[in-house]
Amino acid sequence: MRKFHVWLAALLVAAGLGLVAPGTASAAPYCGILWGSLAKSAPALTQAQIVNVRTGQQPCFDRLVIDLNGTVGGYSIRYVPQVLQDGSGLPVALSGNAFLQLTVNAPAYNSAGNATYNPADKSELTNVAGYKTFREVAYAGSFEGYTSLGLGVRARLPFRVFALAGPGTGSRLVIDVAHMW
């Protein structure tokens, strides 16, 4: 019994001195989100046109949806130091501490050159006041079959991109930006 007490005392002293440490703890990802912040892209083209842009809030992320009147083709979404307008290359002023340039391989006009998406306020496509991550969504132009948007966010945070079919023959390009890492 005395041997047991000696070992127990030695173990307690070692633990107190930090010689015996518990296993490393790893924090679970925020809301189970395992996305990254690196560029995401798909090279496909489409005959569809952009018809609307809208946003929404979810418990773990803010969502931007780009509606098309056909199948989503390709896209390129990445963090940039400054969002630039299509065609001119002029900077797009955006609120936020980090900026996503969203380029969709689809025009915002039809084959006759008529706008299929013509926002009333190009600097504020949707009202994102009160959102946890989004700060501003702006139109950066549609040129030679490509349409660009600028998304100002609170910080460089993880994001994901995916396409959804519908409604009807249309589709949606969805960009989710997490509230935290």
> Domains of the chain (ranges plus CATH)?
35-178 (2.60.40.3500)
State the pTM of this model. Answer: 0.84
Contacts of 99 (CB under 8 A, 6+ apart): 79, 80, 81, 82, 83, 150, 151, 152, 153
Q: CA 84, CA 101: separation in Å to the nearest integer?
A: 8
Q: Would you say residue 9 has pLDDT above 80?
A: no
* Cβ proximity of 13 and 31 under 8 Å: no
Query: What confidence category does residue 20 fall into, taking pLDDT thresholds of 50, 70 and 90?
Result: very low
pLDDT digits (tens, 9 = 90+) for 96-123: 999 999 999 999 999 999 999 999 999 9
